Amino acid sequence: DDSDSESNDQNRQQLCCNHCQKKFRRIDMLSRHIRRHTGEKPFQCDCCHRYFSRRDHLNTHRRTHADVKPYKCSLCRYAARRQDVLTRHI
């Protein structure tokens, strides 16, 4: 039945940002989006106490405190902490 399909699509998009009315299918994505409006930064670095709005940004930042460079150049011995830095190198 097409009406059931349409109803399911609407149910998946019920989460709406109160600030800008952007719609989301998952609560975690809405929560992350709302932090753009509120400026909330709940993730803190243990080393330097800097705050981040997203856990993945904190995890990327943590590499600055360690000598971990997982992105290796295939043409030379260069290594980088972040993919975008390696891409600029190439």
Instruction: Report the pLDDT averaged over residues 2-17.
Output: 64
- Domain map (residue ranges) of the chain: 41-90
Lookup result for tokens 């460079």: 69
pLDDT above 90: residue 26: yes
- Phi and psi dihedrals of 84, rounded to 5? -65, -30
Give pTM, 2 decimals.
0.62
Fold assignment, 41-90: Double Stranded RNA Binding Domain (3.30.160)
Render pLDDT for 43-69 as a digit per residue (tens, 0 to 9): 999 999 999 999 999 998 998 898 889
Instruction: Report the pLDDT averaged over residues 27-47.
Output: 96
